A = this chain, B = another copy of it.
Amino acid sequence: MAKTVRIGLIGLGRIGRLHGNNLVASVRGAEVTAAADIVMNDEIRDWVSCLGIKKIYDDPVKLIQDSDVDAVFICSSTASHAELILEASKAGKHIFCEKPIHTDAGVIKHALSSVKASGVKLQVGFVRRFDHNHKKVHDTVASGAMGHPHIVKVTSRDPEPQPIEYVATSGGIFMDMTIHDFDMARYLSGSEVSEVAAYGTIMIDPGLKKYDDVDTAIIMLKFENGAIGVIENSRAARYGYDQRVEVHCDKGCVQDFNDRINTSMISTADGVFCEKPTWFFLERYNDAFIAEAQSFVDAIINDRDPEVSGLDGLMPVYIAIAAKKSLQENRPVKISEVVV
């Protein structure tokens, strides 16, 4: 393998362009040689041209088959992920795929089989594993310096609710939002989740009722290593993106706090005023997106396993399905109940 990985970018919406910009400007060893989107317009063409990407396709499959492409970034709609993974693995191209691979676990398993058979590398886009704060918590726990983990806590709140149309097709809060936290729970505990119990409530948008969804949720988890955990979600933290994790262990507690817009502190007779957390995932996880792409490119160049595997893409989907079942049936649900 040459020192440079030639990348084809599939899906040129917000997240696709984010990856494109990072690959061009900040990722060593990467070259974006082609871009594809099934929708094509002047704005997209301008962006592609500005970035110096030479080839542009309106058919992702053609991009996959381009011999100037070693690896693809699949950033298209969730529904298309699995099929594009099949195409890419058939073509022998390495795959970075945004999360979730699919909302149906059977479809994911089929795609993973194809990846395995082909021998290409697959990394799933759980970007938070590359966040400087969460990674330090993980690394400290994983080092063993704190002893065994007892309790894993994830606080994860969006600043504003998604449009209700989004929820209608996203698979619901556990599949579109908590899925990141399920991944974080596995990442921090170093263990598989064996059971979940979910409580949920609608505190923000009553319109969710007809989609059988909630906007405020707490999910307890049992891990196979004996630890327990809890995730807490809200669709509306008006002060910004609230992303904190905490692992309580034999020897103490490891936790992180939000990044803030700046470190200013204003003290007056009215109180002490500090800055809010960064507004949303683009601000908070900006550097993490770069680190994630770098890790994928390095895995190809050095021929090692990607840091986030296909299994890491599958397991959170099982947990999300179990959480939804738990909420609907108001009982703890074992992951084994929903594994296909």
Please give the residue numbers on chain A whose beta carbons come within 8 Å of chain B beta carbons, in ascending order: 24-26, 52, 132-133, 135-137, 140, 146, 148, 150-151, 153, 157, 197, 199-201, 203-204, 216-218, 220-222, 226-230, 232, 234, 236-240, 242, 248, 250-269, 271-277, 330-332
Q: Which chain B residues lie closer than 8 Å to A157 at the CB level?
A: 248
Q: Which residue of B lies closest to A268 (CB)?
A: B252
Rounded to whole Å, the gap between the CB of A336 and the closest CB of chain B is 14
Q: Which chain B residues lie closer than 8 Å to A254 at the CB level?
A: 264-267
**How long is the Cα–Cα vector from A153 to B244 in the complex, in angstroms?**
14
Q: Which chain B residues lie closer than 8 Å to A133 at the CB level?
A: 262-264
**This protein's copies in its complex:** 4
Q: Which chain B residues lie closer than 8 Å to A250 at the CB level?
A: 203, 236, 238
Q: Which residue of B lies closest to A258 (CB)?
A: B263
28 contacts between A and B (CB under 8 A): A25-B25, A133-B263, A135-B262, A146-B268, A148-B203, A151-B218, A151-B234, A197-B220, A201-B222, A201-B228, A203-B250, A218-B220, A218-B230, A236-B250, A239-B267, A239-B269, A239-B271, A239-B272, A251-B269, A252-B266, A254-B266, A254-B267, A255-B267, A256-B262, A256-B264, A272-B275, A272-B276, A331-B332
